[in-house]
Structure 1
C-alpha cells in the first residue's frame, strides 16, 4: 500500500479511507458484473483510538494502540470489529494516527502489526515526532568593498566570460608548443622530465634498463597442467581440489541427491517468514501506564484545542472547591451541612475552627471548552485513602449554573467490591469523534477483570453516553 495522504504538513503512509476503498475493490472483484464504487461514494472515515505507553512521552519503553471507534459518515462503529479481516481496519498495517493532548498534536503513531489481548484487538507500532519545517538558511552577506557614498575610484577584477575565454584560447594556440603547453617558449637550459622509452619506441614500465635485473610477472592461471606442475613435478602426488558439488546436496556428510529425494532436510539460514516488525511489548495494566487520544482522518482538519479560559481566574478555584465538597460527600468523607448544624445545636458546643477536610487521593481536575463559545465543562476524579480493598472512587461532570454554582451533570461512585457492576470512570481526554467540530469526553470504564471505553456528549445541561465499546455492559452508573 503506497498511497499517501497529506495531512497538516506531514505525509500519512496510508489512511483509513484508502484502506476501505482497497477492501471494497477486492470484495467487488469476486462478483463479475458488479459495478465498483467510485471515490465519491467512498465514505470519509475517522478513527479514534487510545495510545497507552510506559516511560517517557515520545520515547516510550512499551506502547500499544487500542481502537475505540470508526466514524463512517453516518454512525460510530466499534473500531475493534469494523471490517475485521482478521484484524480490524483501524489496525491495518501502516495506518498512521496523530496523538493529541487537550486537542493539540504531540506526535504520530504508525501501526506495524496487530494482535489480541484478552479477546480484544490492539495494535503495536512506533511513536514518531511531529514533522517540522526546516528554516531557510540565511543568505550570506558578501562585502565587496563598495560604498555608494565614497567618490574614490575602485579597481575591480574583470570577470572572464565565455567569449573572452574562447578568445584567449584561440589566441594562445599560436604560442603553444607541440606538447600542448601554452605560454612563453621554454628555457632551453632548463632540465625537463621525459617519459622513458625502450628501443622499439614504446613506453617501458620497467624501473631499470638493466637486462640482468630480475622481473616479477603475473602468474598465468589459464593452463591447469602448468599449475599442477608448478606445485609438484611428481605426477603420482595427490592434489586437493575444490568440490564443485552444491553444499545443499549434502547434510552431515550424507549426499541426499543419491538418497531419497523426498527426505526432509534441515538447512542452515534464516526462516523464509520475516515476522512482525514490532513485537507485543505492553501487557496488562501497569501502574505507570499513560494514555493519550489518537486520531486518524483522511481529511485535513484544523487544530481545535479544548482548553477553557476563565474570565476571572478566581472562578476556577471556586468551582474546584465546590466540586471537591460534592466529591467528599459522595465518598462519605464529609457530613452534610444540615446534619452538622443539628448536631451543634444539641451539644451546644463552643465555636471552634472547622477541621481540615479529608484528603482526596489522586485528584484530577480538568476544564474543557467543548465547542467554540460554549461554557466550561469540568471533570473531577479522585478516590479515598487507605488499603486498595477499601478504596472508593468518584468521578463528576459538572458545569457552572446561572448563579455561579457547580451543577453536577453526571456522578459516578464505586468501590473495589462493585467494579464489575459499576466500573470506575477514568478520563482519557476530549476528542472530536464525529468530525463536527465539537468535543466529546472519552472515558475508560475499568472493572475488576475487564474494561471498556465510552464517549459522552455534554449538551444542553446533560451528559449523554453516545457510544461504548464492545465487551458487555458493566451496568448503569449512578446519575446516568
Structure 2
C-alpha cells in the first residue's frame, strides 16, 4: 500500500461523504414505509477537480479549485451542480483534495469556502504539504559497568546511587558509597527558600516601620533570590493600555471593540488570494477527493528503446504541420554545379516551427502500451493562429496511429475550442487513466474526459460551458 493508504482517514473526515449520507437519508424520507438503506449500499464518492494557481508549486500566490466531476459509483456527475446547497458538494467546507501530477501526489488542498466566478462555482483554500512520517530515533542502550553484552545469563544490577539496605541515604551518612550518576535527576532546593525554622530576615508587618500595606498579592522576590527557570507572569499590553487610560479592567465592556496594532491573530480562514481570469502564467494540476484510499499509479510510459520516443515525436510533428497547413519551403536549387568530387549536399530547409508544443506519453493502464498527446499552434498573430491537438498510439509498424485530431483557428474557437491537456486521471476509480482536457474557446471554456480503449479515443464526460474572459495572447 502506498502513502495514500496512510492518509485514508483525512478524506473520510471530510464533509463529502457525510453530506452524501445526509442526502441518501433525505431521499428515503420522501417515500413513507421504505426501509432505510444499509451503510454498505451507500456509494463511495470520488470527486475530480483542477487546481489552478500562479506562483511556485507548493507556495502559490493565487489559487482556485474548479470542480469537474463526481463519480457516484454508477455515473459521472457534473461537479459544478452536484448536490448544490447552494455550493456544490465537491466544494463543501473542509473537503480535502490530493493534488497529483502524472499520477503522483504533490500536495493537499483544503477547501475553506466557495464562490461563483462568472456563473462557475470555484473553491478557495490553502495548499498544504504532504504529511511525512516522523523519523524514529533509536534509543541508546544503557550499558552498566561489569555487564557483558555477549553473556545470555540474566544479571541483576543495582542502580548507581541507590539507597542502602537499611534505608539510609548514602549521601547524608558517613558511609562511603558509589559515585552518583551524573545523568540521574536530582531534586535541588530552591535558592532563597525557608529551609530552617529560624529565618534570618525578620517578618515584616503593617505596623513595622518602613513597611507598606499591600493587597493579597505577595511581593515579588528579589532579583538575587529568583529562580531563572521559574515562570513569570507578565501583564498584557492591552491591559497596560487600558490602565493607562484610567479605566478599571473589571468595569470594561466585554463587547467594546478594541483596535490592536500589528498583524491579524489568524482567527479567520487561511485562504490564498483568489485567481481571477486566465493569466498566461497559470498552472494546473489534477485534484482528487475520495472516501477510499487507492494505490498510487504513475502514468508515465517507459520505452523499450529510448530512441523510439524521439522518432514518434518527429512523426507526430509532421502530421501536426500537415493539419495546420504548414509546408516546408522548397529546397534551394544551386545555380552552378560543383566540379568538386566530394562536395557536401545542400541541407534541407528547416521545417516551419510549432509554437507552444507539448508532447506527453502515458501508460493509461498496466500493459496497455503508449498513448501520445501532442498539441501546438502556429507562429502567427492572434487573429490568424491555428491550433492542433493529436492523440495517437503506435501501430504494428512503429508509426503513430492518430485516434483523435482536433484542428481549429482563432475565428472558430467558440464552435471548435482548442484542446489543452491537463493530465491523466483515474476518474472512475478502476485503476485506468482518462485524459483530462480543457476546452478553451474565445469567450467560454469547458473540461472533458477522454477514455482511450481499443484503438479509439471516446469522450465520456464534458462539463457545462461557462463564459470566461480570455486574455490577449492566450
Give the match for residue 310 of structure 1.
303
Whether the 8 Å CA contact 1:113–1:277 is kept in 2: the answer is no
Deviating above 2 A after TM superposition, structure 1's stretches of 4 or more consecutive aligned residues are 15-19, 22-38, 138-150, 156-161, 164-169, 181-184, 193-198, 241-248, 266-270, 274-280, 349-353
Task: Kindly indicate whether residue 378 of structure 2 is the aligned counterpart of residue 384 of structure 1.
Answer: yes
Give the match for residue 178 of structure 1.
none
Where do 1:252-267 residues align within 5 Å?
Answer: none
Number of equivalences: 393
Where do 1:397-412 residues align within 5 Å?
Answer: 397-412=391-406
Structure 1: runs of 5 or more not aligned: 1-5, 151-155, 176-180, 185-192, 222-240, 249-265, 474-480
Aligned partners of 2:247, 2:370: CA distance in 1, in Å? 84
Structure with higher Rg: it is 1
Q: Give the match's secondary structure for 1:412.
A: strand
Give the match for residue 9 of structure 1.
6
Q: Compared with structure 1, are the counterparts of its residues 148 and 24 closer, same or farther at alpha carbon in structure 2 (3 Å cutoff)?
A: closer
Aligned partners of 1:448, 1:8: CA distance in 2, in Å? 42
Deviations 1:187-217 (A, max 9, x none): xxxxxx965489xxxx95149xxxx972314
Task: Kindly state the Cα deviation for residue 53 of structure 1 after the two structures are TM-superposed.
Answer: 0.4
Q: 1:419 aligns with which of 413, 418, 423?
A: 413
Give the match for residue 291 of structure 2.
298
Aligned partners of 2:277, 2:429: CA distance in 1, in Å? 31
Give the match for residue 437 of structure 1.
431
Aligned partners of 1:120, 1:355: CA distance in 2, in Å? 48
Task: Kindly state the Cα deviation for residue 278 of structure 1 after the two structures are TM-superposed.
Answer: 2.9
Deviations 1:156-211 (A, max 9, x none): 994269xx737433x57xx9xxxxx9646xxxxxxxx965489xxxx95149xxxx
Q: 1:374 aligns with which of 368, 371, 381?
A: 368
Task: Kindly state the Cα deviation for residue 22 of structure 1 after the two structures are TM-superposed.
Answer: 2.8
Whether the 8 Å CA contact 1:48–1:433 is kept in 2: the answer is yes
Task: Kindly indicate whether residue 316 of structure 2 is the aligned counterpart of residue 319 of structure 1.
Answer: no
Give the match for residue 122 of structure 2.
122
Whether the 8 Å CA contact 2:439–2:447 is kept in 1: the answer is yes
Aligned partners of 2:93, 2:53: CA distance in 1, in Å? 20
Aligned partners of 2:451, 2:248: CA distance in 1, in Å? 77
Task: Kindly state the Cα deviation for residue 144 of structure 1 after the two structures are TM-superposed.
Answer: 5.4
When the two structures are superposed, what TM-score results if normalisation uses the length of structure 2?
0.73
Q: Compared with structure 1, are the counterparts of its residues 96 and 215 closer, same or farther at alpha carbon in structure 2 (3 Å cutoff)?
A: same
Task: Kindly state the Cα deviation for residue 15 of structure 1 after the two structures are TM-superposed.
Answer: 5.5
Task: Kindly indicate whether residue 21 of structure 2 is the aligned counterpart of residue 21 of structure 1.
Answer: yes
Structure 2: runs of 5 or more not aligned: 151-155, 175-194, 217-245, 260-266, 339-344, 468-474
CA root-mean-square deviation: 4.0
Task: Kindly state the Cα deviation for residue 39 of structure 1 after the two structures are TM-superposed.
Answer: 1.4
Whether the 8 Å CA contact 2:119–2:466 is kept in 1: the answer is no
Aligned partners of 1:323, 1:74: CA distance in 2, in Å? 36
Q: Compared with structure 1, are the counterparts of its residues 308 and 34 closer, same or farther at alpha carbon in structure 2 (3 Å cutoff)?
A: same
Whether the 8 Å CA contact 1:7–1:299 is kept in 2: the answer is no
Give the match for residue 476 of structure 1.
none
Whether the 8 Å CA contact 2:4–2:296 is kept in 1: the answer is no
Give the match for residue 64 of structure 2.
64
Task: Kindly state the Cα deviation for residue 138 of structure 1 after the two structures are TM-superposed.
Answer: 2.4
Aligned partners of 1:160, 1:147: CA distance in 2, in Å? 14
Q: Compared with structure 1, are the counterparts of its residues 279 and 24 closer, same or farther at alpha carbon in structure 2 (3 Å cutoff)?
A: farther
Q: Compared with structure 1, are the counterparts of its residues 214 and 455 closer, same or farther at alpha carbon in structure 2 (3 Å cutoff)?
A: same
